[in-house]
Structure 1
Amino acid sequence: MELLLLIVAVVAIVAGIAGVILPLLPGTPLVFAGLWLLAWLDGYVRVGGVTVGVLGTLAALAWLVDYLASALGVKRVGASGLAVTGALVGAVLGILGGFIGVVVGPIIGATAGELIARRSHGQAARAGLAAGLGFVIAIVAKLGLTFAMLGIFALAWLV
């Protein structure tokens, strides 16, 4: 049974790393679950509760970055509140559209929100571009947080 749980933990971590890049998989939550399971299997001897708490905080931060990056990018280019709301709604509804929906949802939402608010095609295009760029920045930030989680876990395990 312990070997099976060890395999589940490793698969969760590997799938989570893939999920950081592939939007349909819950990347950092899977990485956290796998790391937590490894700590639990070891009886929290090498990786204690404080370290698991830090890992959980980093996973929650990565999840937050995922949803806020597009909206913050849109806000940064001076788009309207409707464009920011559109990017957030597009990110959430995009989940229903699979991989393409997750990528394109915030862009469409920000563009539509800006068109409704200002009817300016140029500003709407900037808002959509900012939402797309925010998505890319979110992936980079999530990768950084994920590797920080793995590094913290490895240090706690080895030290």
Structure 2
Amino acid sequence: AWADGFAHVGWPTLVALGVLTALSLVADVLSTVVGAQRVGASRKALWGTFIGSIVGLFFMPIGLFAGPLLGALLGEYWHTRELGRSTKVGLATWLGILLGLALKLAVVIAMLGLFAFAWFL
């Protein structure tokens, strides 16, 4: 948009793309937490998942997968002291990450479509 002086893609489209970007980040974090919650994770595991997701952003790209998994595993282990249960919660969190990845892919496709629509119209 900037390259052609916003002749094809204006501010309303860019704002919509920004909102979609924010929604994709929220969907990513929430899907990870929901994955942990589905197997009955403790509050400590949920907080570990959230904190691990945020910390994982600083260690891209591996941190995006390892951060929430390790956070959930450590949080649940801190709560129950059961490695088997903690591992189950960690794996459910990882499945939530995969769901979040699928949601982000859908948002990316929507963003590309919106940009193409604005460009050619």
Would you say same fold, with TM above 0.5? yes
1:44 paired to 2:6: yes
Corresponding position of 1:73: 35
Deviation of 1:107 (Å):
1.0
Corresponding position of 1:94: 56
Secondary structure class of the residue paired with 1:41:
coil
Answer 1 or 2: higher relative contact order, Cα 8 Å, separation at least 6: 2
Q: Which structure 2 segments of 5+ residues have no match?
A: none
In the alignment, which of 105, 127, 134 is matched to residue 89 of structure 2? 127
AA aligned to 2:14 is V
1:57 paired to 2:24: no
Q: 2: distance between equivalents of 1:99 and 1:52?
A: 26
Are the structure 2 counterparts of residues 128 and 60 from structure 1 closer, same or farther at C-alpha, using a change threshold of 3 Å? Answer: same
Q: 2: distance between equivalents of 1:84 and 1:55?
A: 29
Secondary structure class of the residue paired with 2:61:
helix
Deviation of 1:74 (Å):
0.8
Deviation of 1:97 (Å):
4.3
Are the structure 2 counterparts of residues 146 and 98 from structure 1 closer, same or farther at C-alpha, using a change threshold of 3 Å? Answer: closer
Deviation of 1:50 (Å):
1.5
Tell me how many residue pairs correspond in the alignment.
Answer: 121
Corresponding position of 1:35: none
Corresponding position of 1:36: none
Q: 1: distance between equivalents of 2:85 and 2:41?
A: 7
Give the TM-score of the pair, scaled to structure 2: 0.85
Q: 1: distance between equivalents of 2:90 and 2:57?
A: 18
Deviation of 1:150 (Å):
0.7
AA aligned to 1:76 is R
- Deviating above 4 A after TM superposition, structure 1's stretches of 4 or more consecutive aligned residues are none
Percent sequence identity over aligned pairs: 40
In the alignment, which of 85, 89, 111 is matched to residue 149 of structure 1? 111
Are the structure 2 counterparts of residues 157 and 88 from structure 1 closer, same or farther at C-alpha, using a change threshold of 3 Å? Answer: same
Corresponding position of 1:109: 71
Deviation of 1:126 (Å):
2.1
For 1:48-95, what per-residue CA distance to the aligned partner results, in whole angstroms no more than 9, with x for missing partners?
Answer: 221111111001111222333212211222211100111111222234
Give the TM-score of the pair, scaled to structure 1: 0.67
Cα root mean square deviation, aligned: 1.9
Q: Which structure 1 segments of 5+ residues have no match?
A: 1-38
